[in-house]
Amino acid sequence: MAWINMAMAKPIAEALLEASAALGNKPDHRRDAALLLGHVTGLSRRDIIAHPEAKICNAHLAQLQAMIERRQAGHPMAYLIGTQAFWDLDFKVTPDTLIPRPETELLIEIILSQDDTAPKTVMDLGTGSGVIAVTLAAARPDWSVIATDASIKALRIAQQNGAGLTNLDFVAGHWLTCFGGVVADIIVANPPYIDPLDSHLAALVFEPQSALVAQDNGYADLKTIIHQSTPLLAKNGYLLLEHGYNQQDAVLHEMRLAGYAPTAYCDLAGNPRAVMGHRKETL
């Protein structure tokens, strides 16, 4: 149903007001309306605020209406505008990639806060849009970062996000099966960890389920990575995994079974979110 009269071009302020009203049931409807308006017109937020009287053409109004209708239907903003902020960068995202979450920034914080700043080799498993690998490669130009994903479509998006970084390579493959004799100082992953029966999946229908769901009550991929990783870690290297809010005890247990000395971390909301397992030199 049309919410906007497209008989003639109209001022930015009027279109923005109508778009915001149409998204009134969304928590951030004003912000979303401004982002969608900027996306279809190419105008920056500053331009939108500074020139409320400027007219928007009918073609852009039609595009904006289509975007509003998709947002009303539940499509994530990141997929509508094609980008998502992560750490201090903006990343291209598509329905072939998981939308980066603020919680995953904890992995970056943990890695970059380590005292040892010597050059490292890092493996990022299941890279998706590449946020972990690209962020680390950009922050540490003297590190060598290798990112892998089983999804060729996701890997192509990650390659676009990592364009221009000479210390970043991409490999197609499932978890650690594609690395051959490569040994890493750091292995990091945000694997699928949601139980297939978890009720939260109903709110994530637009995202690739293969990047979200794991068998064995959500533990299958976590366990695979933990037990495949030890031969590929350098002495005193470490494995860092993101996990679900209710999975930390099980991940700690699995890490110890594999011979790791694990440390648990919580996210900014206070929820258990990550475990780092150090490989002891005696392994």
Whether residues 66 and 99 share a domain: the answer is no
> DSSP H helical segments within 88-187, as ranges?
105-112, 131-139, 152-161
- Provide the residue range defining the domain that includes 169: 95-279
Q: Which two tokens stand for residue 88?
A: 């201090």
**What tokens appear for 273 in the block?**
């979110």
Among 198, 228, 203, CA closest to 213:
198
Q: Domain count of the chain? A: 2
Domain stop point among 75, 106, 125: 75
Say yes or no: 149 and 47 in one domain. no
Residue among 76, 49, 75, 63 nearest 19 (CA): 63
In this structure, the answer to whether residues 111 and 61 fall within a common structural domain is no
Q: Is residue 200 part of a domain?
A: yes
Q: Which two tokens stand for residue 188?
A: 């990091």
Residues 169, 251 share a domain: yes
User: Is residue 85 domain-resident?
Assistant: no
- Give a three-class secondary structure readout of 189-218: ECCCCECCCCHHHHHHCCCCHHHCECCCCC
Burial 107-126 (b: 16+ CB within 10 A, else e): bbebbeeeeeeeebbbbbbb
62 shares its domain with 196: no
Residue 23 resides in a domain? yes
- The CATH number covering residue 238 comes to 3.40.50.150
Residue 248 lies in a domain: yes
Rounded to the nearest 10°, the torsion over CA 14, 20, 22, 25 is -160
Same domain (yes/no): 57, 125 = no
Is the Cβ–Cβ distance between 250 and 240 less than 8 Å? Answer: no
119 inside domain:
yes
CA nearest 185: which of 110, 124, 104, 123? Answer: 123
Closest CA to 184 of 221, 143, 136: 143
* Whole-angstrom Cα Rg for the chain: 22
Mean pLDDT of residues grouped by 10 in the chain (283 residues)?
52 92 88 94 89 90 95 96 97 98 98 90 98 98 97 98 98 90 94 96 94 97 96 94 97 97 97 94 52
CB within 8 Å of 60: residues ≥ 6 apart: 40, 41
Q: What integer pLDDT is reported at residue 180 of this predicted model?
A: 78
Q: Clarify whether residues 67 and 200 are in a common domain.
A: no
Q: pLDDT value at position 25? A: 81
Q: Are residues 135 and 247 in the same domain?
A: yes
Do 57 and 123 belong to one domain?
A: no
264 in a structural domain = yes
Q: Is residue 82 part of a domain?
A: no
Q: Which two tokens stand for residue 117?
A: 């700043």
- Residue 255 is encoded by which pair of tokens? 């890490």
Domain end position, chosen among 25, 47, 75: 75
β-bridge mates for residue 272, sequence order: 266
CATH number of the domain within which 58 lies: 1.10.8.10
**Exposed, middle or buried: residue 231 (CB in 10 Å: 0-12, 13-18, 19+)?**
exposed
Q: How much is the pLDDT for 115?
A: 82
Report whether 228 contacts 174 (CB < 8 A): no
How are beta strands 121-125 and 144-149 bridged, if at all?
parallel
- Report which of 199, 227, 226, 225 is spatially closest to residue 213, judged by C-alpha positions: 199
Q: What is the pTM of this model?
A: 0.91
Residues 32, 114 within the same domain: no
Q: Examine the domain organization and report whether 56 and 168 are in the same domain.
A: no
Q: What is the predicted pLDDT for the residue at 184?
A: 96
Are 59 and 129 within one domain?
Answer: no
